[in-house]
Amino acid sequence: MEQQPASDPSTAPDPRAASDPRAASDSRGAPDPRVARPPDPRAAIETVFRLESPRVIAAVARVVRDVGIAEELAQDALVAALEQWPRDGVPDNPGAWLTATARHRAVDLVRRRENYARKLQEIGRGLDPAAPPEEPADPDAIDDDLLRLVFTACHPVLSAEARIALTLRLLGGLSTPEIARAFLVPEPTVAQRIVRAKKTLATRNIAFEVPYGPDREARLGSVLDVIYLIFNEGYAATAGDDWLRPALCEDALRLARQLAALMPKEPEVHGLVSLLEFQASRTAARTAPDGRPVLLRDQDRRRWNRMLVARGIAALDRAGAVATGAPGPYALQAAVAACHAHAHTYEDTDWRAIATLYGLLAARTPSPVVELNRAVAVSMADGPGPALEIVDRLVAEPTLRDYHLLPSVRGDLLLRLGRTAEAKAEFERAAELTGNERERELLRARADECRPH
Amino acid sequence: MPRYLSLVKIDEATAPAEGPSPELMQRMGELIEEVTKAGVMLDTAGLTPSAQGVRAHWEGGKISLTDGPFTESKEVVGGYALMQCKDMAEAIEWTKRFLKVHEEHWTVTCEVREIAEG
């Protein structure tokens, strides 16, 4: 790396260490002055900005009441930092510096608008005529701003794609090209989604707030769904050549953990964290060295990440500890994942418990996909016959018409019942339906294995 | 997102005998809360003094055990942080914040290493 002048006095190495040879010889175990280097200021600033930008945007959005403008002001603060920090040194609390700089500009902007509005004898659209709020003094206020940003980015007036893009951009600190790469869509498409989403929030006058009214549960559900969709896109990529895009899983997991820290009393947030920790624990075992997907039953469970399993269990315990009613859908799915995590083999799994949990889930959020999962558990607890009865009731389900896992599961049950010709046709149909190349290969291989005995 | 282990090394001979000041503990608590809230911190802890540690060594097909303190090393591991970060630059940024929590009379080295996945 290029040697740059030290910009951060607190972390720059002692200049004597580089020039005084004694410094190198008398200090066993101390940093070797030959490799001690000052940090590259530009890269360090960009890293700090990525970490801090959600908080900066959130703090500013409360002043300007517009996430689009808030993001622009945060970018302005980054430009100011890139100018000033290499010259004057990195401030002791870079996050606070960025927030203060952006908020200062925001207050200026609001005042200019208010003057303008007064001159026009009217108030600008949606603008609070009161003076801008005081700077929040304590970190809790910033946490509240962050939560407002979360709920705004995941607002139900936006399409799912828009919520995802906006959440990754504003809260995950991802750039538009990074989001485009992650979702395998052209960059201008993502850019347009984000622009439109911001415009929708502004024109529909969406309040920058955490909902506490009767719509709170549904609004929180929307937030959790966005994070889960992001995770799933990385976990079982719906398109493309790779079975897994782990970076998206990590982004989602991090968002979920952040949300749990912001809303420690919401059981479903812990439920989502738990579910994602469990699923992420299997990442390494889900892909063979040649990139093929490895199904749960075939996974080498020694490769499951024990730390993530432990975190999943802890999060599920927290969900239970703060719960006031029956478990929600994410906690129930996490409980299913916990059954898998506790089992040493696929066959040893407590399938009856899983079938019960899926029954509870289906009662709470009726869904043919949940029913399909219940059928798999029933097949392990009671055999393929009773499971096939459940699956056959789903064949007519219009929402599952193009869902590749239906013929995939049905093929598996038929194969176990010895009905190989029918099984082969189902696997072939599943292979046609999946959008994932790796999964298609796996399903074709299963179809090829279906030979009459 | 890769995981990074920050091995916190201190010189037990020169580290303040009374241990960390209450102010340091307060700042450290706030920082750990911040890093946890950022979804970054997976696990962190300080270690008991090396006097209570044992080194197990394998060489030439033989095991030898050495009781602490490990006075032959200037710096010994005094704690660790396991973090999930976007990249090394981010891991270093958090590590810098960890170091800045200490008073000037402390000498602390953090060795930041990426965990080999798979």
B14-51: burial string, b at 16+ Cβ within 10 Å, e else: ebeeeebeeeeeebbeebeebbbbbbbbbebeeeeebe
Domains of chain A: 41-121 (1.10.1740), 378-453 (1.25.40)
The amino acid that residue A121 corresponds to is Q
Which one is predicted more confidently, A127 or A175? A175
- Give tens-digit pLDDT for A366-416: 889 899 999 999 999 999 999 999 999 999 888 888 899 999 999 999 999
Token output for B95: 């590590």
pLDDT at residue A130, as a whole number: 47
At B107, is the pLDDT very low, low, confident or very high (cuts 50, 70, 90)?
very high
pLDDT > 90 fraction of chain A, expressed in percent and rounded: 58
Pick from A14, A42, A174, A250 the residue to mutate for testing the B interface (most B CBs within 10 Å).
Answer: A250
- CB pair distance less than 8 Å for B90 and A28: no
CATH at B56 = 3.30.70.1060
- Give tens-digit pLDDT for A275-322: 999 999 998 898 888 877 888 989 999 999 999 999 999 999 999 999
Instruction: Determine which of A26-35, A94-103, A370-379 has the lowest per-residue pLDDT on average.
Output: A26-35
Q: In chain A, which residues have their Cβ closer than 8 Å to the Cβ of B109?
A: 29-31
Q: Distance between CA atoms of A236 and A445, rounded to whole angstroms?
A: 19
Q: Is the pLDDT of residue A271 over 70?
A: yes
pTM: 0.81
Q: What is the mean pLDDT of residues A105-111?
A: 90
Nearest CA in chain A to B35: A258
pLDDT at residue A16, as a whole number: 37
Backbone φ and ψ of A417, nearest 5°: -90, 0
pLDDT at residue A313, as a whole number: 97
Mean pLDDT for chain A overall: 85
Q: In chain B, which residues have their Cβ closer than 8 Å to the Cβ of A250?
A: 1, 84
ipTM value, please give it.
0.80
Q: In chain B, which residues have their Cβ closer than 8 Å to the Cβ of A287?
A: none
Domain containing residue B63: 3-114
At A18, is the pLDDT very low, low, confident or very high (cuts 50, 70, 90)?
very low
Domain total in chain B: 1
pLDDT > 70 fraction of chain A, expressed in percent and rounded: 84
Q: What is the DSSP string of A265-334?
A: T-HHHHHHHHHHHHHHHTGGGGB-TTS-B--GGG--GGGS-HHHHHHHHHHHHHHHHH--SS--HHHHHH
pLDDT at residue A240, as a whole number: 57
Q: In chain B, which residues have their Cβ closer than 8 Å to the Cβ of A284?
A: 117-118
Distance in Å, alpha carbon of A43 to nearest chain B alpha carbon: 8
**Stretch 304-323 of chain A: residues touching chain B, C-beta under 8 Å:** 307, 311
Q: Is the pLDDT of residue A124 over 60?
A: no
Instruction: Give Cβ neighbours of residue A375 (< 8 Å, ≥ 6 apart).
Output: A387, A388, A390, A391, A394, A409, A413
Point out the residue among B34, B38, B99 whose CB comes nearest to the CB of A11.
B99
- Give tens-digit pLDDT for A193-242: 999 999 999 999 998 999 988 899 999 999 999 999 999 888 765 555 55
Distance in Å, alpha carbon of A435 to nearest chain B alpha carbon: 25
Q: Is the pLDDT of residue A339 over 90?
A: yes
The position carrying tokens 């040493």 is A344
Pick from B26, B82, B84 the residue to mutate for testing the A interface (most A CBs within 10 Å).
Answer: B84
Token output for A30: 């101390």
